[in-house]
Amino acid sequence: MTRRSVICGTGHYLPERIVENSWFEDKLDTTDEWIRSRTGIERRHFAAEGQTTSDLAIRAAKAALDRAGMTADDIDGVVLATSTPDFTFPAVATMVQAGLGMKRGFAYDVQAVCAGFVFALANADAMIRAGQADRILVIGAETFSRIMDWTDRGTCVLFGDGAGAVVLQAEDGAGTSDDRGILASDLNSDGTYRELLYVDGGVSSTGTAGQLRMQGNLVFRHAVEKLAKTAHTALDRAGLTPADVDWLVPHQANMRIITATAQKMQLPLDKVVLTVADHGNTSAASIPLALSVADGQGRFAPGQVLVTEAIGGGLSWGAVVLRW
């Protein structure tokens, strides 16, 4: 028998404030049509004043636990992906732990920017496979509106705030690609591309939070190439091919990257979960948000193969293949 990590609950939370593209028209040299045509984004959510990343994460975690039919007492640990923590420390995960009333187990953050949830999911899977935990909450949560340069139309129109969560549970499998749960993952980083996507602040450099900087054209080029490759690698490790994929659940960066990646994988768009129009790029939250939305709509059937993939600052990128 092989120990597998199966998703048994999903949940998400989006701040109440919805910002349409038209909101930017009075502030920047841009239009709703310009943003839609280049990104596919129509609106995004922004956190309220005083609303933190941990606030969003706690709500998403509670929703995932409810859907799984569990309570915080059933959870052994929390692994949370974010680039926009409430504080330099402690970890946002520990604040989620406290917010859920958990008095035991572990809680820590993973930082791989937009690829953070994929890294967190692979990390939690490894812990479950090793027998260190039976149930783990894996969360992606961001408040990117806090690090935007509102004069830079190339970045500030892209991002939104939100949180998504999944409950991973250990189950026995036969050790084949027919098993339910996470079948394979592929993680990569290359720090020589730091200047393509970064925040120009930090504790040991400027002592400030900083603002997001991005070379969009170069990021696009790397994204399409690296996302398709990592997805193929993960599928190979799982003993599967793109023809076996029922759903691609990509990082919701922008519609052009998603479409180009799907084409490279020879997948039609009706097999791709799309939330970018309503959420924008929510970084580490985008994949669990998309999983939760699609799950809530009943789009995933038991036994279907899902591929999640993402790329973010670092550059860091990766993919996870799982059977629902």
**Residue count (the chain):** 324
Q: What gap in Å lies between CA 153 and CA 28, rounded to an integer?
A: 6
Of 21, 123, 254, 281, catalytic: 281
**CB 190 within 8 Å of CB 315:** yes
Of 45, 232, 251, 279, catalytic: 251
Residue 281 annotated as catalytic: yes
The string of DSSP codes covering 24-52 is: GTTTSS--HHHHHHHH---EEEEPPTT--
Of 12, 21, 45, 114, catalytic: 114
Q: What gap in Å lies between CA 128 and CA 2, rounded to an integer?
A: 11
As given in the structure block, the two tokens for residue 320 are: 């996870």
Q: What gap in Å lies between CA 140 and CA 12, rounded to an integer?
A: 9
**Dihedral sign of CA atoms 233, 237, 238, 241 in order:** positive
Backbone angles phi, psi at 185, to 5 degrees: -145, 165
Locate tokens 């040991």: which residue? 204
Residue 217 annotated as catalytic: no
Q: What gap in Å lies between CA 2 and CA 182, rounded to an integer?
A: 11
Please give the positions annotated as active site: 114, 251, 281
